[in-house]
Amino acid sequence: MIQRYSRPGWLDMARGLHALCSRRGRGVSGGACDPTLQANEGEAAEADYSLRRGSRPKRTNDPPDRTGLIGALLTLLKTSVLLLIAGAIGAGCGFGGGGDLTLGYLGWDENVANSYLMKVLLEEELGYDNVELKLADDVGPAYEDLIEGETDAFLDAWMPNHEQFVEGGRGRIEVSKEPWYVDSTRYGIAVPDYMQDVRSISDLDSSGTDMITGIEPGAVLMKKIETDVVPEYDLQTSLVGATTPAMLAELEQAYSMEEPFVFLAWSPHWMNQEYEFRYLSDPKNAMGSVDAPQTLHSVTRAGLAEDEPAPYALINAMRLDEDQIGSLELAINESEDPEAGVSRWLEEKENRELVRPWIEAAKNAQEE
């Protein structure tokens, strides 16, 4: 209940209404409070009652009492201003303050999937007006955007492979303490199962193709193959960079025709559900630790926890296993656009239950 003063200023009343919205909005199902209803409490009810009493004045010979009418009109005017103020700050009454947020991402399918999942949850569950997704063309620029404050978060840090990028932003970015991906990762050079005679990297020159179709040149594995793997095995096979979608398109075409094809593969990714393939062994250990299991983390700009506690909590609460992220990726691939794919994925009861504690963590953070 708002404590009422005899003659509050309009700014004081606006602040009071905004505070009420802030307190009440967090506890309202659906994430938004109704400023119109709040303005109608107290002052509006009093104005309405005063007008109803004055609408049928008794007929007397005494001069009309204009004081009551003027008072009622002033009360009505004050109520109207309150309603205008409520409408102006209504967007701010929503859970999360109705603000904007920018997530940086790469064209890696797991990163597309978890970024769009966060966007949909922030907008539909936490009341954010606009969550922008900014696509980077390589790993380095994704971190540069975050370090420079162009983005608020990047949700696909492969650690320790991305340690060099994280070190470059030390003090300006923050890596989540726990990984969002809960299963083991795989990462390396792969071939379809129908290439029976190709089992290790040393077999590549007799694989039937003269190239390894890679991904974005800035990926750590791409650099390692070029600087260590090719020289160590004295390969005549060349490494060709491409975007992840382009590599996957080439894989689909070659796989459908059972043509020789060497590519970079990793898990989590829907390719592991769609194709039968194997990772090649590295008997000379030219990859070093690059193809070792990684942990996948979110990275946020410094200060996000204080500035935007709800998104920060939501991002850090996210947990997905291989089947869950794979099914989300496939739902996106089968839809006209990523947001529609995420929405369809969330229609499944088990997926809705999966994200429920993340949303609760975000709401709790906003209330603290």
What is the tens place of the pLDDT at every residue in 278-305?
A: 999 999 999 998 888 999 999 999 999 9
Interval 151-167 mean pLDDT: 96
Instruction: Check residue 336 and give its pLDDT.
Output: 82
CB 176 within 8 A of CB 298: yes
Lowest mean per-residue pLDDT among 2-6, 210-214, 303-307? 2-6
Q: Is the pLDDT of residue 67 over 90?
A: no
User: Which of 326 and 35 is assigned the larger pLDDT?
Assistant: 326
Q: What is the C-alpha separation between 309 and 72, in angstroms, rounded?
A: 43
The CATH number given to 96-183+294-367 is: 3.40.190.10
Tell me if residue 176 falls in helix, strand or coil: coil
Q: Is the pLDDT of residue 225 over 80?
A: yes
- At residue 82, does pLDDT exceed 80? no
Rounding to the nearest 10 degrees, give the CA dihedral for residues 48, 50, 54, 55: 10
**Domains of the chain, residue spans:** 10-93, 96-183+294-367, 186-279
Q: How far is CA 292 from CA 3, 52, 169, 289, in A?
A: 62, 77, 24, 5
Q: Is 96-183+294-367's fold the same as 186-279's?
A: yes
Q: What's the one-letter identity of residue 353?
A: E
Question: Distance between the two ends of the chain, CA-based, in angstroms?
Answer: 20
pLDDT 10s digits, 102-112: 999 999 999 99
Residue 202 has pLDDT above 60, yes or no: yes
| Range 186-279 classified under CATH 3.40.190.100 | yes
Report, as an integer, the average pLDDT of 83-99.
44
pLDDT value at residue 200? 97
% of the chain with per-residue pLDDT over 70: 73
